[in-house]
Structure 1
Amino acid sequence: MKSKALHLIIYILLAFLLCPFAACDDTDDYSSDPKHTLRFSQDTLCMDTVITGIPTSTYQLKIYNPHKKALLISSINLADAGESGFRINLDGMPGKQFADVEIAGQDSLYIFVEATLPQQKNAGITLIRDSILFQLNGIRQEVKLWAYAQDAYAFRGKVIEQDTLIASERPILIYDSISVAPNAHLTLAAGTRLYFHGKAGMQVHGRLSAEGTLSSPVVFRGDRTDRMFPYLPYDRLPGQWGGIHFLTTSYDNHLVYADIHGGSFGIRCDSSRTDRTKLTLESSVIRQVSGNGLELTSCQAVIGNCEISNAGNNCVSLLGGDYTFTHCTLANYFSWNVRKGTALQICNEWNGTDYPLSSAIFRNCIIAGSGTDEIEGRRSKNENTAFNYYFSHNLIHSVKEENDRIINVIWRKDDNFVLMDSRTQAYNFALEEKSEAINLGNKEDADAYPTDRNGRSRLQDKAPDAGCYEFIRNEKEAATP
């Protein structure tokens, strides 16, 4: 009896030890019920417009097993076998197809999706489709992949050496830099879009004209067309590229309906003769830059009907020179990181060197922001160095000042703008009904700009509004982030 009992115990122990290797059939550990299917974080993964030939950022797809028993996915693969330009990565393993993928009960795994889309050889935007296919217990499931492909012309270290007109329906992708040589004139036609890669920028030694319109502005921006988060496009972030730099030899630059955003700075003008116009900027916007928005050093510039907003340093920085601003909105509510400047900085001295400020005129303007004082002044100790300014019919968030160079100015913090969303970095500096900028402007000064930056008349009511946007009732309802 003892011998038989001993043999039985040994048999049971051997069966238990060998079970994982031979005797046990673990197929019952996976559900074979065709009703037990996968769930996905999204049924369609859609990418924004993607420049062909440039890798996208990584998108995330989460796969759930909502059931108690584990599931064995027979296969996961791209329907177009990667020919579409999409790529997938399963929990750190790149590939076009995967077999026998286990997902435990009430567990999940991740698929990461990227794309480098092939050229489409047309000027339009093309929808590229693919899908990720899942085979499980005889059932096929699918997650659709969509991306909008846009071809672009590429310039790398491009130098414009003679008078040139660029009129392109496709974006122009700038690598390294684009520069305009001395004595050359570059004209950008309405609708031209310059997309700058990395820290690429524009240097102008000669002359630049941007001939944008309300419906077809000339755009200067970074080349990231995807999103950091679902609610936050990279295009709303500062520091995506360099900026536009007008050097000492550059004069007679004229930009109309230019949209300059997302750079390390917006426009920088080096010191030049102050009896000749270096820059005329009209009906344009400079916004969301990590440095100065508009930096003017000892030169002559005319700025009208423009929005210059949200700069990590100053929206406008003036050092010496001769400047006129009419119907401009300078609004610094920069919130991407710590802001170091103000809406307006005016100086006639820097690092021990004097720069005479012969004239800084602001007519029918708004100077606003989230700080305690949105004007910073720096004066030379030499009282003979010119520091001439003039403010007329402005709304200014700063310390009140009274003298004969200040006429009809409201000194008050007024944040009555249509949209200021720091989470999504979406801003609209059109006026709300409570804004004290409404009807503040002088009609004679508005004659030079009878319509606002959005093409609306300034001359049909009691008085023009300060800033570049005329108040329109119910504007807030129409605003979109």
Structure 2
Amino acid sequence: MNKYITIILLALLATLSACTDDDSFSASTANTLTFSADTVTFDTLFSRVPTATRTFWVYNHSGDGIRCSSVRLENGNQTGYRVNVDGIYLGSAQGYQTNEIEIRDKDSIRVFVELTSPENHAKTPQLLEDNIVFTLKSGVQQKVNLRGYSWDADIIGMLEIRHDTTISAVDKPLIIQQGLRVDSGATLTVARGSTIYFGQRAGMDIYGRLVADGTAEKNVIFRGDRIDKMFDYLPYDRVPGQWQGIHFHTSSYENRLNYTDIHSAYNGVVCDSSSVERLKLQAYNTTIHNCQGYGLKETNCVVDLWNCQITNTLSDCAAFFGGGAMLRHCTIAQFYPFDANRGVALRFSNYDGDKDYPLYQFDVYNTLVTGYADDVVMGDFNKSTDATYMFSHCILRTIKPDTINEQQFRHVTFENVEDTAAITGAKHFRDIDADKQYYDFHLDSLSTAIDSAEVLPNGYSATDRDGRQRDSRPDIGAYEYHHDSSATPAALPRRRR
């Protein structure tokens, strides 16, 4: 028994000795702290909108304990930064500081930083700086810099358009946090060069009419409101599902998107079933990219697409269930990187679920359809109703039919996915970088889409998605390879040419 008591006493002495060593604190100016970052950066943010939380670590590698007589936010509450040091919030009750913080040798503490910046009353983003000041017992001061660019914006919760209205969000960003609704009978016009930012749960519900009238130089942009980064290499603007997208309801007709950029939504554009005697949507020179649902979903209505890029979606990039559609000079590409169970690039059908919808017209000219998978084109039909379709001068990444029906496929190239030397899939484009979520769907110089389109009448092959002039041997897809001049696009008729 005495033997065990002796062992226990020796262990306690050793523990007390270790605690004594750890609890020794130095006031030498040679003993300082080490930080995991000397600057905490928030990039650009909207004023009055809280940021995500940034963190950094404070380490003590000095060889002895260090006491901080104070840790404070240098400018107090003047800049909008909020700081928590080792579980202690530096708020007004504490004078934006905390005292007597101890960091033992080989120990660390964590600091959390957020920012809700005040308005700066300027048209451009303004630098907003502060410092967290660590004052050691030795008198040494160490600082971690806080910096971000604050951008004033008009912030609206729910915006309801009851009468004809024009929105211009050119000089100052417009943020819609809850949603935008256009009532039946009203038209919302969005001026060229406008960018409208949406909160994650916000989208556009169109019961009336939407006109987005951009130009080649001044696109209209619809996007999410996160302008910071998820990682150093990945802005939130490249992450899908940042907002809810555009929904054209049954009562909505004659919508027009021209030189419009819609990206990083849940569903990019959804068109509900309506009368096929009226045009539902005209989309010219429009991009729909990087969606967590569909890019474009059309159900039993009439849509007219020209020079459109529809790319990278979890569900189908472009899906047409009945109705009528005309596609000219479009690029439809499925390189969605987040889920191998992604949809196809192009789907067309005469039913959706248990409902039949006649596909009375589906004409596709000079269009490039490709992607990662071996087959990204899906025509799916039942025999209960009509299904009429035609492809002319297109490149399709799909299985070539055993027998070519000239009424359905005219001068169509079926990508040979087994030929590794062929220019197929990603090889058509300038840059497909899934790691950084960066995609450039302009044609690469080796693409077989170059000089392979037919010249369409009425100026439909005159210009490309960027407003650049096409030459006398136009290229398949939305983009012409290496041309600089621009022309004004002409109107596109509904019916087959």
Q: Residue deviations 1:355-395, cap 9 Å, x none?
A: 1111112111111111221011211222xx22111111212
Mapping for residues 348-363 of structure 1, pairs under 5 Å = 348-363=350-365
- Asked if structure 2 preserves the Cα contact closer than 8 Å seen for 1:155 and 1:178, the reply is no
What is the RMSD of the two structures over their aligned residues, measured on CA atoms?
A: 2.5
- Does structure 1 residue 456 correspond to structure 2 residue 457? no
Deviates more, 1:372-381 or 1:136-145: 136-145
Identify the residue that residue 159 of structure 1 maps to in structure 2: 160
Q: Residue deviations 1:137-191, cap 9 Å, x none?
A: 3222222211211222233332211111111222222232211111111100022
- Does structure 1 residue 89 correspond to structure 2 residue 84? yes
| Residue segments in structure 2 that go unaligned for 5+ positions in a row | 1-9, 91-95, 416-423, 484-497
- Asked if structure 1 preserves the Cα contact closer than 8 Å seen for 2:22 and 2:65, the reply is no
Mapping for residues 202-351 of structure 1, pairs under 5 Å = 202-351=204-353
Mapping for residues 136-215 of structure 1, pairs under 5 Å = 136=136, 137-168=138-169, 169-215=171-217
Q: In structure 1, how many angstroms separate the alpha carbons of the residues matched to 2:218 and 2:131? A: 35
- Does structure 1 residue 414 correspond to structure 2 residue 415? no
Identity of aligned residues (%): 37
Q: Report how many residues are paired.
A: 451
- Asked if structure 2 preserves the Cα contact closer than 8 Å seen for 1:327 and 1:446, the reply is no
Deviates more, 1:426-435 or 1:311-320: 426-435
3-state secondary structure, aligned to 2:44: strand
Deviation, structure 1 residue 113: 1.0
The code of the aligned residue for 1:282 comes to Y
Mapping for residues 364-403 of structure 1, pairs under 5 Å = 364-382=366-384, 385-401=385-401, 402-403=404-405
Q: In structure 2, how many angstroms separate the alpha carbons of the residues matched to 1:337 and 1:464? A: 34
- Asked if structure 2 preserves the Cα contact closer than 8 Å seen for 1:310 and 1:331, the reply is yes
Aligned in 2, Cα 1:273/1:28: closer, same or farther, shift over 3 Å?
A: closer
Q: In structure 2, how many angstroms separate the alpha carbons of the residues matched to 1:286 and 1:252? A: 19
Q: In structure 2, how many angstroms separate the alpha carbons of the residues matched to 1:101 and 1:203? A: 53
Deviation, structure 1 residue 319: 0.7
The counterpart of 1:75, out of the listed 53, 67, 70, is 70
Deviation, structure 1 residue 447: 3.2
The counterpart of 1:433, out of the listed 445, 469, 473, is 445
| Residue segments in structure 1 that go unaligned for 5+ positions in a row | 1-12, 474-481
Identify the residue that residue 470 of structure 1 maps to in structure 2: 480
Deviation, structure 1 residue 32: 3.5
The code of the aligned residue for 1:427 comes to Y
- Asked if structure 2 preserves the Cα contact closer than 8 Å seen for 1:443 and 1:459, the reply is no
The code of the aligned residue for 1:99 comes to N
The code of the aligned residue for 1:140 comes to Q
Identify the residue that residue 33 of structure 2 maps to in structure 1: 38
- Asked if structure 2 preserves the Cα contact closer than 8 Å seen for 1:342 and 1:374, the reply is yes
- Asked if structure 1 preserves the Cα contact closer than 8 Å seen for 2:365 and 2:393, the reply is yes
Mapping for residues 14-29 of structure 1, pairs under 5 Å = 29=24
The counterpart of 2:56, out of the listed 17, 36, 61, is 61
Q: Residue deviations 1:409-431, cap 9 Å, x none?
A: 22114211222222222221122
Aligned in 2, Cα 1:68/1:248: closer, same or farther, shift over 3 Å?
A: same
Aligned in 2, Cα 1:52/1:264: closer, same or farther, shift over 3 Å?
A: same
Deviates more, 1:343-352 or 1:411-420: 411-420
Deviates more, 1:299-308 or 1:86-95: 86-95
Q: In structure 2, how many angstroms separate the alpha carbons of the residues matched to 1:356 and 1:52? A: 50
Q: In structure 2, how many angstroms separate the alpha carbons of the residues matched to 1:110 and 1:472? A: 52
Identify the residue that residue 8 of structure 1 maps to in structure 2: none
Aligned in 2, Cα 1:243/1:108: closer, same or farther, shift over 3 Å?
A: same
Aligned in 2, Cα 1:426/1:27: closer, same or farther, shift over 3 Å?
A: closer
Task: Give the TM-score taking structure 2 as reference length.
Answer: 0.85
- Asked if structure 2 preserves the Cα contact closer than 8 Å seen for 1:50 and 1:147, the reply is yes
3-state secondary structure, aligned to 1:415: helix
Deviation, structure 1 residue 74: 2.8
Deviation, structure 1 residue 433: 2.5
The code of the aligned residue for 2:158 comes to G
Q: In structure 2, how many angstroms separate the alpha carbons of the residues matched to 1:464 and 1:64? A: 62
3-state secondary structure, aligned to 1:457: coil
Task: Give the TM-score taking structure 1 as reference length.
Answer: 0.87
The code of the aligned residue for 1:454 comes to D
Identify the residue that residue 7 of structure 2 maps to in structure 1: none
Q: In structure 2, how many angstroms separate the alpha carbons of the residues matched to 1:135 and 1:278? A: 66
- Asked if structure 1 preserves the Cα contact closer than 8 Å seen for 2:426 and 2:432, the reply is no
- Does structure 1 residue 49 correspond to structure 2 residue 51? no
- Does structure 1 residue 123 correspond to structure 2 residue 119? no
Q: Residue deviations 1:184-229, cap 9 Å, x none?
A: 1110002222222231111111111111223332221222222222
- Asked if structure 2 preserves the Cα contact closer than 8 Å seen for 1:304 and 1:449, the reply is no
